[in-house]
Structure 1
Amino acid sequence: MPRNPLSTTAVAAIAVVALLVGTAVGAGVYAAVGSDDGSNSQQLRDGQSTATNSSSADVAAFSSAAAFRSYLDASADRRSGGYYGATFLDGPRVASSAEGGTADDVVTETAVAESTPQATAEAAQTVASDTSAGGNAGGVDGSGGSDSVDRVSGTNVQVTDVDEPDVVKSDGESVYYARGSRSGFYPNKRAGVTLLNTADPVSPELAGEIDASGQLLLANDTLLVLSHDAVVAYDVSDRENPEERWTKEVSGRLQTARLSDGHVYLVTVDGLRYDAPCPIRPFGDGGAEVACTDVYHPTEPVPVDQTYTTTALDPESGDVADSVSFLGGHRSTVYMSGDSLYVTYVQPPEYGRLYLDFLLTEERDRLPDSVVDRLETLREYDLSSQARSIETNRALSAWYRSLDADERREVQTELANDWRNHLDEHKRELTSTGIVKVSVDSAEGESDGDSAPSLAVADVGSVPGVPLNQFSLSEYDGHLRIATTIQAPGTESENDLYVLDEQLETVGEVQGMGVDEQIYSVRYVGDTAYVVTFKRIDPFHVVDLSDPENPEVKGELKLPGFSSYLHPLSEDRVLGVGEENGQVKAVVFDVSDPENPTVEDDYVLDERWSAIRESHHAFLIDRKHGVFFLPGQQGGYVFGYDDGLELQKVVDVQGAQRAIYLNDYLYVFGESEVVVVDETNWERVTMLELPEYRYDVVEEPEPRAE
């Protein structure tokens, strides 16, 4: 008897699910991904730890490598979903640590479909005390740093005094500029670090060079150069003769880093090894290791494919103070507040189980008893999602073959439409982001920078949707706020904002902002959130978060283009930087009446590119002079913002990347030069050509013989 091919209905059903899975993988930050609501989870297998060393019952540490492997088995069953889902454990290495990064990788100066505002130390005091208002990192204002330079801007960061890697760092007397590393942590063959002597801000001089590539952190006299696979520290106390202090090779991938309270915090990512899953060695065989009992996981098995490790170390010596690891999925986002570090990851959907549940609930009356009985049996079996999908399809195919052509076509159409409607109604069950909270505590409760910090996984949580980047998250007054985009294939996207308590339990939410749009930027200022969504126009939403349990959208404004960067100028004015018709645009929002936000002024530049697209670090505000700086391909643009927007100065520099101020001098960094402008009269005072870096010759590997 010939083998029966799949009916067109079965093929259609498979295509729908395959489309969903493919979209979830390929649609970037707006893909549909799965949630774990606990209703259809598998039990922990024999040998898996259920004890926890953390404060949350939802997270546990493994008791052994065997328990780790047992969890991977359970996770594999959850992961291999979809009608043609891939098998999770198909080899000793399940996830490549070379997998591409995300919006928060320091390895990629990520674009900022929402860049955060940063204020300098002055701005943090002027705008808000909320750490989410942004702040100065590494800068000096008023005193210290240098005998001749007493006003130095730091990197434009998300949280005051939590420094982030960037291509320019300064302590006042010296400036360090990593050139040719616009691609982030991944080394550029012509990149290097140029050291400038800026003791006299009017006349900077070349002081030295470092033959290294990456982004920078500066801790006193130690300069860290971070690439995707290594961290190298240099002693720059003698800037003309920098010396290498220590090097740490990263076994997987360096995701991001922070510098806070005298310690560096690295987040590294490693693929999973089934044969020897732990201990974790984020810095290779010779480095510090994380024992199995310090590797955490959600107690509920969820699809995982990577291990994240947070490491605290001393920047001067490279000594590791503490490390903690936890399991997660791909596309992570990292956000650090004063005493907590949050890592999010996408949890992919289990469409096989979802489709089976859909058939047994909404379509039960349509199905013959024999099919219902078979599907009920399948739901009880401890099957992988892939196996469950195949068996579900077999049960449906047998029924389809019993129908005549017209009846079969009618059933196909109705099932497909019902399934799409089901996805639309349950889209928040398809898409979720796991959140891991790592507590950062100094010894004996001290926070003077001298005590070694200790790290622990405090809690885990989950919210529907996917955050845009690190600025979608904000910790404030004991609550975590996170904005996400909800999307399922074939449905209209929506955008939500969730408020979580200290245990990462959701206590409040706003749902349905910007229907059929996606989040392009988020900015938190105290108990207010500003959310920009976009598809064809730019809705600017004002969300009142003063009551965490009852957040509320107070006002909305629609305007052409979109803002990918939001920055508070004052308590009732917010700057947006983005695009309109492909050109760089700046707009000032008047939010004095939250229920009726308006556009105070806007300005469209004759520029089609700005470094702000790649990194929020490219933005600079100088509140003393009432100006901000926007880099462009053709030059650097200085705007006054006290009364509307006024173009104060165009600095002629090719490929402007960054700007800083030293005293009353604005330094604009281009691809091959630094231009210094006097901020008191906006006159150009000097230009310093930078050394030319040569391309290294890289031989292409010989093609392998077939």
Structure 2
Amino acid sequence: MSSSKKINEDNLKKAKQKYENIEIPASLDSTIEKAVEKGEKKDIFKYRFPLTAAAFLCFILLALSCFPKLNFIAPASANTEVADNKNVSGDITVKAAPLPTVDSYENMKKLLGSTLHFANASNKDVVETKGAGGYAIKDDLTKSAPIDNNMSSSNISKKAYPDYSTTNNQVQGVEEGDVVKTDGDYIYKINGSTAQIIRALPATEMKVIKNITLNNEIRLQELFVDNKTLTVIGTYYKKNDATNTTEDYNIDSIYPINSTPITKVLIYNISDKSSISELRSFEVSGSYYTARKIDSKIYIISNQFINLYKKSGGEQPALPFYSDDTKKSAYTDITLDKIKYCPDAVAPNYLNISSIDTAMPNSGLEISTYMTSAGNIYVSDKNLYVAGYDITKLNNSPSTTLYKFSLDKGKAQYLSKAEVPGTTLNQFSMDENNGYFRIATTVNGSTSKNNLYVLDNNLSIVGKIENIAPSERIYSTRFMGDRAYMVTFKNTDPLYVIDLKTPESPKILGELKLPGFSTYLHPYDENHIIGFGKDTEEVSETTSSSNTVTKRVIQKGLKLAIFDVTNVNDPKVMFSTTIGDNGTDSAALYNHKAFLFSKERQLLAFPLSVNEFDNKVPRNPNDPYGTLKFEGAYVYKVDLENGFTLKSKISNQSYSNKDFKTFTIGFDYSIQRLLYINNSLYSVSNNRISAYNMADYSQVGSLSTEVK
């Protein structure tokens, strides 16, 4: 053996020994495999001499040893650049080239000219505003509900798990704001312009210990709470300093904009309930849309319709603005060189993403602004996804433009974008799992159709199913790990079970058809799902003029169902029950946060109003929606042996008798949320909280929370 050959073999052996214990990340291994499949194999293995092979191996292993410091692999296209960051799972994200900034007023006018005209005049029957500037298809249902899903409950006797309910969040570890929250000792709620803190224990002695009353022009919308802080978020309107609107620029303006919505955020120190104090407040222009809290960091989304008008000194756009501390500073404009836009999805709207760390309330406020529409929002524990719409395309080929932002150290940073056909129904139309993003859309048109797309970490479509249930549209979607469940509707309610285990080849496994539709799907366990929606009936009608028989679908009462998907190829309805007749309604049909469920407690509760037809005559011309018979909440025991067992009807209204035959409805006494602490169930409305013993649902406490 020659000395040079022995040296080469020794070098190779040393390299192997040094790096043999390095674990290759799955994402990197997958990328290498794809590279080999694309033809690089001949380049890699053409090195036949040991020295060259050893050098190549050392290079690869050295790169691995530097992982995750090296952002290597995944070749960037001409339009992309490699990101400096990785998500929590270690996946490398290739992001699109940085978005351009508006920079000048002339550029803004050019970008907005056609879209403002379109939004204001051409398509009022197609688009509508959501939060003063976001756009969506009209008639989209809003809100519908992983596995965390409020199953965290408490064992009444042994305290084997948490003793109080939490907000029904979509993603575990990502908290959503709500109008009511509890920490197990106190209830925190919003009542108009007042944030209230109520001592909840004992349930027989509830007491309002603090009313934090703000300017009555502020409409509080949601709050967050932890051990030390209470954060409240609301919107008020600031009168504009000009009345001359977009008409000067040949842009149709049928709705003069005389005021600007402002999102206000206040953070309070509640560690000592006897001495609650304000820690921080700030304001960002735009209507509050939604927020998420991850650990101590809160991310806030606001929408602001762009108003063009003349100021003294010349033409100026209405810039977005903020006040970092409303007690100490005036407003600061976010200038055009700081506002970014997506060239192929411009909308007359500022999307403001602001964030604050409640653990360090005096830290800097992070704000980023994008000139785009903000429709539905999905947030994982590491990324924010915005489903926006190019409103100029809604007449022809409506599509969703996805924007992906990383949530790193309390700051939202743009990563990449993608476009998929169709529009999303709500936040449950989207999901992130193991580095893949899944989205369900409906393409409306002469014949509607539904699609499901799987995108990789860089938002490239890797798998899809299109043309699901032609002529129908999606009423609810729920992603659960490697499966998706989708309900579409026209005449019947098909429930589709979709396999997503192999992202590149999603497929429909099973289908179940039954009357009615579910607007919300909630996991019971891995193999069972609760459907919450409306019952329907197909009826035949004969027209008097032509004496022809036509069929149409009429809505009936509210419907609960338990679907058994143990056999994914043959899903079944295990149990179902219907409440009331047409006109029966529940906030939980549109807002998943009104849905209280605990598998451990066998508890299901939700607010509702019940309508019934007198003498059970359906569709009486003089009584098309039945007569209101009850307003409050229903409480069920739910299990897989008996299905739904009604345990109690509770109400915060003032009924004249126990049969609820006559009563006066007061909006401020309508139940908004239900929660439990220990063995007590609480029904919460604006002006009253009632407490019930969960052993027999007898009322044990009542508290007036009216703000005078």
- Tell me the TM-score normalized by structure 1: 0.65
CA distance in 2 between partners of 1:653 and 1:111 (Å):
30
Tell me which of 444, 449, 467 is aligned to 1:487: 444
Map residues 289-438 of structure 1 onto 2, 5 A cutoff: 295-298=339-342, 300-315=343-358, 317=361, 319-329=363-373, 332-349=375-392, 430-438=397-405
Tell me which of 665, 674, 691 is aligned to 2:705: 691
Q: Is the 8 A contact 1:233 1:245 kept in 2?
A: yes
CA distance in 1 between partners of 2:700 and 2:110 (Å):
64
Q: Is the 8 A contact 1:118 1:157 kept in 2?
A: no
* 1:240 to partner: Cα distance: 5.2
- For 1:152-201, what per-residue CA distance to the aligned partner results, in whole angstroms no more than 9, with x for missing partners? 2110111112111111111112111223xxxxxxxx5xx53332112435
* 1:345 to partner: Cα distance: 1.0
Higher helix share: 1
CA distance in 2 between partners of 1:668 and 1:617 (Å):
14
Secondary structure at 1:65's aligned position in 2? coil
CA distance in 1 between partners of 2:566 and 2:353 (Å):
41
Identity %: 27
Does 1:534 pair with 2:549? no
CA distance in 1 between partners of 2:162 and 2:512 (Å):
41
Instruction: Classify 1:149/1:530 alpha carbon distance in 2 versus 1 (closer, same or farther; 3 Å).
Output: closer
Which residue is equivalent to 2:184?
172
Give the root-mean-square deviation of aligned CA atoms. Answer: 3.6
CA distance in 2 between partners of 1:192 and 1:148 (Å):
35
CA distance in 2 between partners of 1:653 and 1:295 (Å):
49
Does 1:625 pair with 2:601? yes
- For 1:346-394, what per-residue CA distance to the aligned partner results, in whole angstroms no more than 9, with x for missing partners? 112459xxxxxxxxxxxxxxxxxxxxxxxxxxxxxxxxxxxxxxxxxxx
CA distance in 2 between partners of 1:504 and 1:140 (Å):
40
Which residue is equivalent to 1:215?
222
Which residue is equivalent to 1:610?
586
CA distance in 2 between partners of 1:57 and 1:338 (Å):
19
Residue identity in the other structure for 1:226: I
Tell me which of 83, 94, 119 is aligned to 2:148: 119
Secondary structure at 1:686's aligned position in 2? strand
Which residue is equivalent to 1:439?
406
CA distance in 1 between partners of 2:273 and 2:377 (Å):
32
Does 1:158 pair with 2:113? no
Residue identity in the other structure for 2:375: S
- For 1:406-434, what per-residue CA distance to the aligned partner results, in whole angstroms no more than 9, with x for missing partners? xxxxxxxxxxxxxxxxx9xxx7xx11111
Secondary structure at 1:438's aligned position in 2? strand
- For 1:47-88, what per-residue CA distance to the aligned partner results, in whole angstroms no more than 9, with x for missing partners? xxx99796756442336713x753652564577679x859xx
Q: Is the 8 A contact 2:195 2:211 kept in 1?
A: yes
CA distance in 1 between partners of 2:673 and 2:201 (Å):
20
Secondary structure at 1:286's aligned position in 2? coil
Which residue is equivalent to 1:660?
675
CA distance in 1 between partners of 2:509 and 2:369 (Å):
40
Which residue is equivalent to 1:8?
none
* 1:295 to partner: Cα distance: 3.8
Secondary structure at 2:493's aligned position in 1? strand
Tell me which of 489, 502, 516 is aligned to 1:547: 502
Tell me which of 687, 693, 697 is aligned to 1:678: 693
- For 1:124-169, what per-residue CA distance to the aligned partner results, in whole angstroms no more than 9, with x for missing partners? xxxxxxxxxxxx6xx9999xxxx99951211011111211111111
Does 1:62 pair with 2:29? no
Aligned length in residues: 512
Tell me which of 132, 142, 148 is aligned to 1:99: 132
- For 1:78-106, what per-residue CA distance to the aligned partner results, in whole angstroms no more than 9, with x for missing partners? 77679x859xxxxxxxx9997266789xx
Q: Is the 8 A contact 2:207 2:703 kept in 1?
A: no
Does 1:498 pair with 2:541? no
Instruction: Classify 1:631/1:117 alpha carbon distance in 2 versus 1 (closer, same or farther; 3 Å).
Output: farther
Of the structure 1 ranges 432-441 and 303-312, higher mean CA displacement relative to structure 2 is found in 303-312
Q: Is the 8 A contact 2:509 2:569 kept in 1?
A: yes
Map residues 590-609 of structure 1 onto 2, 5 A cutoff: 590-606=564-580, 608-609=584-585
Instruction: Classify 1:688/1:103 alpha carbon distance in 2 versus 1 (closer, same or farther; 3 Å).
Output: farther
Does 1:457 pair with 2:426? no
Residue identity in the other structure for 1:437: K
Tell me which of 647, 650, 653 is aligned to 2:648: 650
Which residue is equivalent to 1:73?
110
* 1:587 to partner: Cα distance: 0.6
Q: Is the 8 A contact 1:499 1:509 kept in 2?
A: yes
Residue identity in the other structure for 2:194: G
Q: Is the 8 A contact 1:120 1:154 kept in 2?
A: no
* 1:117 to partner: Cα distance: 6.3
CA distance in 2 between partners of 1:148 and 1:542 (Å):
33
List alignment gaps of at least 5 residues for structure 1: 1-49, 87-94, 105-109, 124-135, 180-187, 352-422, 443-452, 695-706
Structure with higher RCO (Cα < 8 A, 6+ apart)? 1
Which residue is equivalent to 2:73?
none
Q: Is the 8 A contact 1:97 1:271 kept in 2?
A: no
Instruction: Classify 1:582/1:231 alpha carbon distance in 2 versus 1 (closer, same or farther; 3 Å).
Output: farther
Q: Is the 8 A contact 1:497 1:511 kept in 2?
A: yes
List alignment gaps of at least 5 residues for structure 2: 1-78, 84-92, 215-219, 236-261, 309-314, 536-554, 610-630, 653-669
Which residue is equivalent to 1:233?
267
Which residue is equivalent to 1:396?
none
Secondary structure at 1:632's aligned position in 2? strand
Residue identity in the other structure for 1:663: N
Instruction: Classify 1:72/1:319 alpha carbon distance in 2 versus 1 (closer, same or farther; 3 Å).
Output: farther
Secondary structure at 1:497's aligned position in 2? strand
Q: Is the 8 A contact 1:202 1:685 kept in 2?
A: no
Q: Is the 8 A contact 2:494 2:512 kept in 1?
A: yes
* 1:547 to partner: Cα distance: 1.2
Which residue is equivalent to 1:365?
none
Which residue is equivalent to 1:570?
525
Instruction: Classify 1:96/1:495 alpha carbon distance in 2 versus 1 (closer, same or farther; 3 Å).
Output: closer
* 1:333 to partner: Cα distance: 1.1
Q: Is the 8 A contact 1:600 1:644 kept in 2?
A: no
CA distance in 1 between partners of 2:601 and 2:101 (Å):
58
Secondary structure at 2:458's aligned position in 1? coil
Q: Is the 8 A contact 1:112 1:613 kept in 2?
A: no
Which residue is equivalent to 1:129?
none
- For 1:582-619, what per-residue CA distance to the aligned partner results, in whole angstroms no more than 9, with x for missing partners? 42211111111111111111011137121213411011
Higher Cα Rg, which structure = 2
Which residue is equivalent to 2:514?
559
Secondary structure at 1:612's aligned position in 2? helix
Does 1:281 pair with 2:303? no
CA distance in 2 between partners of 1:277 and 1:118 (Å):
45
* 1:294 to partner: Cα distance: 5.1
Secondary structure at 1:73's aligned position in 2? helix
CA distance in 2 between partners of 1:234 and 1:265 (Å):
17
* 1:245 to partner: Cα distance: 3.1
Q: Is the 8 A contact 2:133 2:349 kept in 1?
A: no
Which residue is equivalent to 1:259?
293
* 1:308 to partner: Cα distance: 1.3
CA distance in 2 between partners of 1:235 and 1:629 (Å):
32
CA distance in 1 between partners of 2:111 and 2:160 (Å):
62
Residue identity in the other structure for 1:434: T
Does 1:579 pair with 2:534? yes
CA distance in 1 between partners of 2:574 and 2:466 (Å):
28
